[in-house]
Amino acid sequence: MPRFKRSSTAGPFDYSRKPLLRIVFILGTVFLYAPIIVLIIFSFNNSRRGGNIIWKGFTTKYYTKAFGNEELMLAFANSLTIAVVSTIISVILGALTAIVLWRFRFPLKPMFEGLVSLPIVIPEICMGVSLAMFFSTMGWMQTGDTAWPFNLSNIIIAHITFSFPFAAMVIRTRLQSFNREMEEAAKDLGASEFRVFVDILLPHMKPGLIAGALLAFTLSLDDFVITFFTSGPNTVTFPVKIYSMVRFSVTPEINAASTVLIIMTLLLTFIALRYQRIDTTP
């Protein structure tokens, strides 16, 4: 049976089929991707100094060099540790916040909601500076004699503060699709409040919790400004280390290390998508 193909005739509002708009879209995408692709290509550049200017042949030695750089690897281990710990606490705090906002009606709720979303909107630099002042006023600034991983606690606190509101938002969106009849049915059948929470609400929240966790993890790995202010001389994270390397000189080693992080982020994004499933019906 011949099918009526509507898509083959472009209507006046099929903007995605207009050549000019398509060109803008393609150029915009090239604009977004070109620097990252160039960075990855130049991480294989066999050039000692100023490795970013001229292509001098293929090599993987800068990967070996990056992985052999102890300070860089320690910074990377710090970043991962901070990301894991802050993600766990962020998800717990985020879930509690989401449940409060979804479940309860209480006086000053708009204020509570505003307070929770403030860390999302205020400029990073203000948050970095205020936390740095807070830690130094409290005498919590790391001096270097605290044992690993406790010397990372300031950075972890800072990371939780800016990432749990994001996690709360994601989890709250998930909660909105919860069917309250399920809960009532369970209660009618004699389930306690706690059982309802563990057996019904929590499984329903799970995709939201995972999405929130991945978001918190990425935010933590990504952060530079706030970490820059709250880190001590001996608590360097991956972005802070890269920053000081960039300030010192541009080497292919930075490109190699960056490429490793980009690929990690890509993998995380794909895991996130597998859990969330790309939504075709918004």
- The interface with another protein within residues 139-198 (CB under 8 A) comprises 157-158, 160-161, 164, 193
The residue assigned the tokens 């293929």 is 58
Among 4, 31, 58, 248, binds another protein (CB under 8 A): 31
Among 116, 152, 155, 200, binds another protein (CB under 8 A): 116
Residue 84 or 120 having the CB closest to another protein: 120
**Helices 109-121 and 153-175: angle between axes, nearest 10 degrees:** 120
Binding to another protein (CB under 8 A) within 83-102 occurs at 92-93, 96-97, 99-100
Shortest distance, CB of residue 240 to another protein, whole angstroms? Answer: 9
Shortest distance, CB of residue 158 to another protein, whole angstroms? Answer: 8
28/30 Cα distance (integer angstroms): 5
For residue 248, state whether it binds another protein (rule: CB under 8 A). Answer: no
The residue assigned the tokens 């080497």 is 251
DSSP letters, 218-254, are: HHHHH--HHHHHH--TT---HHHHHHHHHHH---HHH
CA angle 169, 171, 173 (to 5 degrees): 70
For residue 77, state whether it binds another protein (rule: CB under 8 A). Answer: no
And the tokens for 249? 């000189």
Among 56, 84, 126, 274, binds another protein (CB under 8 A): 126
For residue 210, state whether it binds another protein (rule: CB under 8 A). Answer: no
